Amino acid sequence: DSGVTQTPKHLITATGQRVTLRCSPRSGDLSVYWYQQSLDQGLQFLIQYYNGEERAKGNILERFSAQQFPDLHSELNLSSLELGDSALYFCASSVEVYRETQYFGPGTRLLVL
Amino acid sequence: GESVGLHLPTLSVQEGDNSIINCAYSNSASDYFIWYKQESGKGPQFIIDIRSNMDKRQGQRVTVLLNKTVKHLSLQIAATQPGDSAVYFCAENNFGNEKLTFGTGTRLTIIP
């Protein structure tokens, strides 16, 4: 158990809908990262927050957004969902930024029908 | 652009044998490397890391070797066990780049 929690574990929804994925980092970690993993694909970095502020952006679609709250939990919002958005979404956390080990949560499996 | 790649997508090893998983990176500024293990249906799990001021680092049954000259990283797993079956990812980072760049992964299968 990495100490990172993610909810929900599974999510099934329809195209065009909007969902919110939630992540609670390890106690003491200030940095939160979101990744997308499609079937048999590597981890694609989406976005990073540090202590409530956005720090880095990766291949995140404009239909996706995220935020980190004062209690350091983070939410990833996915809107106007398409079939291709079906994937595993992982959250990771680390104490700081730069050359820090990231600890991953168990992921949310999203299926868009 | 920077990229991290793996030489082999799959690797099958007899139980009890040693396994070696390789990873190449292209960014010469990379100075921090991590190996992750991902079992089916689970999130990536940290195995071992190494910084660029080292050539070798050992953990429990695992050793990471870094060859900066040829930009190559390897993960050695000694005396493999069925529980070692998973996908292994290498990831790299460099000062000023706050995100890890992950390779595509190698699937390791342990044959009983």
* pLDDT tens digits in sequence order for chain B, 112 residues long: 344 544 448 999 999 999 999 999 988 888 899 999 999 889 999 999 999 999 999 999 999 999 999 999 999 999 999 999 999 999 998 766 667 888 888 999 999 9
CB contact, 8 Å: A9 with chain B? no
Residue A5: half-sphere exposure toward Cβ, Cα within 13 Å? 6
CB contact under 8 A, B43 and A48: no
Across the interface, whether the CB atoms of B44 and A101 are under 8 A apart is answered no
Q: What angle do CA B99, B40, A37 make, to 5 degrees?
A: 35
- DSSP conformational letter for A42: -
Angle made by CA atoms B29, B88, A4, in degrees to the nearest 5: 90
The whole-number pLDDT of residue A11 equals: 97
Chain B residues lying within 8 Å of A48, measured CB to CB: 98-99
pLDDT for the residue numbered B6: 40
Q: Tell me which residues of chain A have a pLDDT lower than 70.
A: 40-41, 97-99
Q: Is B32 on the interface with A (CB under 8 A)?
A: yes
pLDDT value for A99 = 61
Give the dihedral of Cα atoms A109, A112, B3, B4; nearest 10 deg: 30
CA dist., res. B35 & res. B62, Å (int):
10
Helix (H, G, I), strand (E, B) or coil at A61: coil
Tell me which residue in B93, B95, B102 faces A43 most closely, judged by beta carbons: B102
Best of B99, B101, B102 to disrupt the A interface (most A CBs within 10 Å) is B99
Nearest to B9, CA basis, from B19, B27, B22, B18? B22
Taking an 8 Å cut-off on Cβ atoms, the answer to whether A99 and B46 are in contact is no
A17 to chain B, minimum CA–CA distance in Å? 25
Q: Say if B112 is an interface residue toward chain A (CB within 8 Å).
A: no
The predicted structure's pLDDT at residue B9: 82
- Per DSSP, B109 falls in state E
Q: Does B18 touch chain A (CB under 8 A)?
A: no
Any CB–CB contact under 8 A between A10 and chain B? Answer: no
Which of B92, B100, B106, B107 is the best residue to mutate to test the A interface, defined by the most A CB atoms within 10 Å of its own CB?
B100
